[in-house]
Structure 1
Amino acid sequence: MGERIKEKLEILADAAKYDVSCSSSGSNRKNKEKGLGNTGAGICHTYTEDGRCVSLLKILLTNHCIYDCAYCVSRKSNDIKRAAFTVQEVVDLTINFYRRNYIEGLFLSSGIFKNADYTMERLVLIAKKLRQEHNFNGYIHLKTIPAASPELIHEAGLYADRLSINLEIPTDSGLKLLAPEKNREDMIQPMTYLKDQLIKTKEEKKIFKSTPHFAPAGQSTQLIIGATGETDKQIITAANYFYRKFNMKRVYYSGYVPISYDSRLPAIGTEVPTARENRLYQSDWLMRFYGFQANEIVNDTHPLLDLDIDPKLSWALRNMDRFPIDINKDDYQLILRVPGIGVGSAQKIIAARRFGPLNLDHLKKIGVAINRAKYFIVCKGFMQIYADKRSDIIKSYILHSSKSKYLVTGNQQLQLF
């Protein structure tokens, strides 16, 4: 690898680190005719749906950009080193890195130079060359450029496993403040096209097995957190809308990192707490897999997520009247609401209780976090007795694992047989 290519790689890989909206789960492109790679691989040091840690070459095609978004390190007014790969350079890097077992695929984004279609054409050409000239069957995730033509988006879907368009700022008012040159509708139109085409392809495959793949891993997006003053309620409401309206595979949340002074942005040194990102992802998980509605997690009364406890526990403590849940009688959806019980554990509970009533020892073996769950359940031989069913006392007890005069614990549990 030449020195100039190394320099470009350092610049454009560093610029790509701010984009977290990448994952490979959901695609099953098969290796044919002794080609290179197999899809099912993932992102740089992340995990696929089946738990494997995988890696991608994650770069920008260029960090030149015609826009001046206040939150973006590549904005045109920022005094940084600029670089751009040629189409062939990205293709060669991907193939060479794959042959050396450094990566399992490609995540490719870009600043926008000249215009949306000019940039999108080059992204598509890279994916096309990898697929057709090198018979590359590894994972490819392409960023769709807002305002790119439907024809180019369609072609991108034929070669990429996943396409994504970053919403960037959760609210329209925030986008107008920090990126006045951008138009939300330019982001919405490609999302709508992708959703419709994914549905169409799925229906056609039921009739014609030879229907070409179209972005088999779906579409995703990213929201920047903390660049403007949106509450967690606004963020989660926006994410929920895009899940429902556009069949998003994933919504990613990226805490804003102050990189230069701008009166519209948070001061340098005031980074978004990692805990806030984690709570947003946990809330996202509750909506996608646990049957929670967005307004159950956050609402006008509770617009911000608790940073010291997870959102499922927070909801339970605000709704103590819904508990206890009877592990041996209540249905799956209710059991999923218990803090300390995950999807896998809930499924095991439903399966195991057919053979007899479950007790605490059974639940421990299944994988239930008893230290949390015990305040919200009854099962064979166990019921937690409260001297005072105050959520703040229960929260404190769970957090600090200390005895409390408001809880009856240990040998003071009521035994039911």
Structure 2
Amino acid sequence: MDYERIKEKLTILADAAKYDVSCSSSGSNRKNNSKGLGDASGMGICHSYTEDGRCVSLLKILLTNHCIFDCAYCVTRKNNDIKRAAFKVQEVVDLTINFYRRNYIEGLFLSSGIFKDADYTMERLIQVAKKLRLEENFNGYIHLKSIPGASDELMREAGLYADRLSVNIEIPTKAGLKLLAPDKKHEDFIKPMEKVKNEIIQYRQESKLIRSTPKYAPAGQSTQMIVGASGENDREIMYSANFFYKKYHMKRVYYSGYVPVAQDPRLPALGTQVPMLRENRLYQTDWLLRYYGFDVRELLNDEHPNLDLEVDPKLSWALRNRHLFPLDVNKVEKQLLLRVPGVGLKSVQKIIQARKFRKLNWEHLRRIGIAMNRAKFFLTCDSKDFEVKEPSSEYLKSVILKTSSGKFRKEIDTQLSLF
């Protein structure tokens, strides 16, 4: 093995993979019952930190950065003058096993540029996963990036060896995709998503009848959108995300702020990078849709097409709907309590349990851990209520911002300065 050449490939193809953010969790429970290597546990294999502070990592690379397409927003576009490289299938297998044995990684995230055609590329991705599972007896986490336009047969096979599959929708709208990636078709992204969704449903139904039914993509599927490359507002982005959650049962939709990679009149000017705060607000909105019972039209609509960067989307919604507040924390039902700014999922559970035994006051709520600087203006309890001198939402917003921590204010000021 030419170790210097492998090292050079790894440097090139690991760097090219950094633009894909849709690899942060698995949700898989592939157990190691055959004395093999690895164990993809339910806590997730990811390139981030768990709740207990543990860093979990994976080998995140492209099979190749050669590509037949010329998407304006992509660093690996065929007309971009960059250094190219490609791994052989066995090289990726060997890297994964060697890195795992050295405790560098807990799994593999494998994507690729498209060379020759979609099926040829997808076949090679599957070969890597298949060799790891069958020849190396590897039970760790594997996330394969599905190739748009790949055949149904290949998508079915991919799910038998990967824990998670994903097809990046890339641009949130059809019009944006047509503008920036005219060689690609929207239906080529949708077809593999539909196949994976149907296969997951079918295998789950069969597993209820036949215990030996193999797992199919046990961690589900995800997708990713580039934010800020084609001018969509937050409303268009989140309406697209909501569509994919409902239509294709996505586990996650990821939002990646556009990073300028080339000079192109169709793209934002070089040096114009999407503020991280905008990404953060999109993720907060995504969380409200999936776990807090909000409808996307409540948060973003014709009147409010973009998210407020100064405050989180739940607070923004509450300020626009002051007529619904304040709510009595000792009586209000769970779904409404979830809509109170500063009250999270865990706090709601604690409140519901605690109020079975006594009426709650501000001190109780503070000990439970709610964010008092926000919640106190939208709740009543077994204590004297907080008074708002002026009823306007703008005044209340200014009061909340003034009482926010200095670190929070500094973050806002820094991010807003990037516009």
TM range (shorter): over 0.9
Structure 2 equivalent of residue 25 of structure 1: 26
Counterpart amino acid of residue 99 in structure 1: R
* Structure 2 length-normalised TM: 0.94
Give the counterpart letter for 1:383 in structure 2.
D
Post-superposition offset of 1:24: 2.9
Distance 1:120 1:228, change over 3 A: same
Q: What's the CA shift string for 1:283-317, capped at 9, x where partnerless? A: 00000000001011111000000111110110011
Deviation of the 1:43 alpha carbon: 4.9
Task: State the match for 1:81 in structure 2.
Answer: 83
RMSD: 1.3
Contact persistence 1:65–1:111 (CA under 8 A):
yes
Does residue 1:35 correspond to 2:36, yes or no? Answer: yes
Q: Distance in 1 between matches of 2:137 and 2:403?
A: 56
Give the aligned residue type for 2:293.
Answer: G
Distance in 2, Cα, partners of 1:6 & 1:42: 28
**Which residue type is aligned with residue 338 of structure 2?**
L
Which residue of the partner structure matches residue 203 of structure 1?
Answer: 205
Tell me which residue corresponds to 2:306. Answer: 304
Counterpart check, 1:400 vs 2:402 = yes
Determine the structure 1 residue equivalent to 2:186. Answer: 184
Counterpart CA distance in 2 for 1:383 and 1:29 is: 51
Q: 2:323 matched to 1:318?
A: no
2:301 is aligned with what amino acid?
N
Opposite residue 3 of structure 1, the aligned amino acid is E
**Equivalence for 1:13:** 14
| Post-superposition offset of 1:53 | 2.9
- Give the C-alpha shift of residue 33 in structure 1: 1.7
Q: What corresponds to 1:374 in structure 2?
A: 376
Change (3 A) 1:49 1:217: farther
How many residues get paired?
A: 402
Give SS of 2:397's match. Answer: helix
Match of 1:352, as an amino acid? A
State the Cα distance separating 1:48 from its structure 2 match: 5.2
Offset of residue 383 of structure 1: 1.5
- Alignment partners' CA distance in 1, 2:78 and 2:47: 30
In structure 1, what residue type is equivalent to 2:381? C
Offset, 1:209: 1.4
The alpha-carbon distance between structure 1 residues 165 and 50, as it changes in their structure 2 partners (threshold 3 A), is: farther
Instruction: Give unpaired runs (5+ residues) of structure 1.
Output: 403-417
Q: Aligned partners of 2:309, 2:361: CA distance in 1, in Å? A: 32
Contact 2:388 2:396 in 1 (8 A): no
Tell me the alpha carbon deviations over residues 97-133 of structure 1, each in whole angstroms, 9 at most, x when there is no partner: 0011110000000000000010000000000000011
Are residue 250 (structure 1) and residue 256 (structure 2) matched? no
Distance verdict in 2 for CA 1:332–1:44, change over 3 Å? closer
Matched, 1:288 2:290: yes
43 and 177 in structure 1: CA distance in 2 versus 1, 3 angstrom threshold: farther
**What TM-score, normalized to structure 1?**
0.94
Task: Return 5+ residue gaps in structure 2 as ranges.
Answer: 405-419
Distance in 1 separating the partners of 2:256 and 2:283:
10
Paired position in structure 1 for 2:105: 103
Q: Which residue of 2 aligns with 1:63?
A: 65
Cα displacement string for residues 209-239 of structure 1 (whole angstroms, at most 9, x for unaligned residues): 1111000000000000000110000000000
Q: Match of 2:262, SS?
A: coil
Contact 1:25 1:49 in 2 (8 A): no
Residues 42, 56 of structure 1: 8 Å contact kept = no
Q: Secondary structure at the match of 1:383?
A: coil
Residue 138 of structure 1 is matched in structure 2 by 140
Inter-CA distance 52–331: structure 2 relative to 1 (3 Å threshold)? farther
Query: What is the Cα deviation at residue 25 of structure 1?
Result: 3.1
Structure 2 residue 207 is matched with structure 1 residue 220? no
CA drift at 1:365: 1.2
How far has the Cα of 1:154 moved from its partner?
A: 0.6
Output aligned runs, 1:350-389, within 5 Å: 350-389=352-391
Aligned residue identity for 2:180? L
CA distance in structure 2 between the partners assigned to 1:62 and 1:176 by the alignment: 24
- Specify whether residues 90 and 191 from structure 1 end up closer, same or farther in structure 2 by C-alpha distance, changes over 3 A only: same
Q: Is contact 1:108–1:143 with CA below 8 Å preserved after alignment?
A: yes
2:262 paired residue among 260, 278, 293: 260
Fraction of identical pairs, as percent: 69
The answer to whether the 8 Å contact 1:222/1:251 transfers is: yes
Pick which of 122-131 and 382-391 moved more.
382-391
State the secondary structure of the residue aligned to 2:395: helix
Cα-to-partner distance string for 1:86-106 (whole Å, 9 max, x where unaligned): 000000000000011110000
Cα displacement string for residues 9-62 of structure 1 (whole angstroms, at most 9, x for unaligned residues): 000000000000113332100012211111036455314588743101000000
Partner of 1:277: 279
String of CA shifts for 1:371-415, please: whole Å, max 9, x gaps: 11000000111322233211111111111129xxxxxxxxxxxxx
AA at the equivalent of 1:309: V
Decide whether aligned partners of structure 1 residues 51 and 321 sit closer, same or farther in structure 2, where only a CA change above 3 A counts: farther
Give 1:24's aligned amino acid: S
CA contact (8 A) 1:24 1:48 kept: no
**C-alpha distance in 2, partners of 1:399/1:385?**
17
Opposite residue 146 of structure 2, the aligned amino acid is T
Q: Contact 2:342–2:374 (CA<8 Å) still a contact in 1?
A: yes
Cα distance between partner residues in 2 of 1:42 and 1:12: 24
* Structure 2: distance between partners of 1:360 and 1:173: 51
